[in-house]
Amino acid sequence: MSKGIAGKNNWALFLLLLAGIVLGGFIGSLAAGVPFLSWLNYGQTFGFANPIVLDLGILVITFGLSIKITIASIIGVLIAIIIYRFL
């Protein structure tokens, strides 16, 4: 008996999406030097340009976030979703 999408593990989806983003970003950065594959590294970076520093005297905490979304990472996410649907 099939459980369908509602019965699947959400952690598995999260880990597959994370793996798709990481592997897609890695493939995009590798393809940046190849002329006919350089379009895979095309994307947008957003986040904090300068990290936010919280100085509490004896403790210094630095907050920073930067996200780069590329064509390859989007393809990686789509492949992860397809894999999840067939599990």
Domain count, the chain: 1
What's the pTM? 0.75
The answer to whether position 51 is within a domain reads: no
> What would the pLDDT profile of 10-47 be if each residue is shown by its tens digit?
889 999 999 999 999 999 999 988 999 999 999 999 99
Q: Which two tokens stand for residue 13?
A: 């989806």
The answer to whether position 15 is within a domain reads: yes
Alpha helix segments (H runs only) across 1-87? 10-31, 71-86
Give me the pLDDT at residue 87, please: 80
Residue 4 pLDDT > 80, yes or no?
no
Give dist(CA 33, CA 40) in Å, integer.
10
Domain span including residue 30:
10-46+59-86
The answer to whether position 54 is within a domain reads: no
The answer to whether position 30 is within a domain reads: yes
Give me the pLDDT at residue 48, please: 87
> What would the pLDDT profile of 37-55 be if each residue is shown by its tens digit?
999 999 999 998 899 999 9
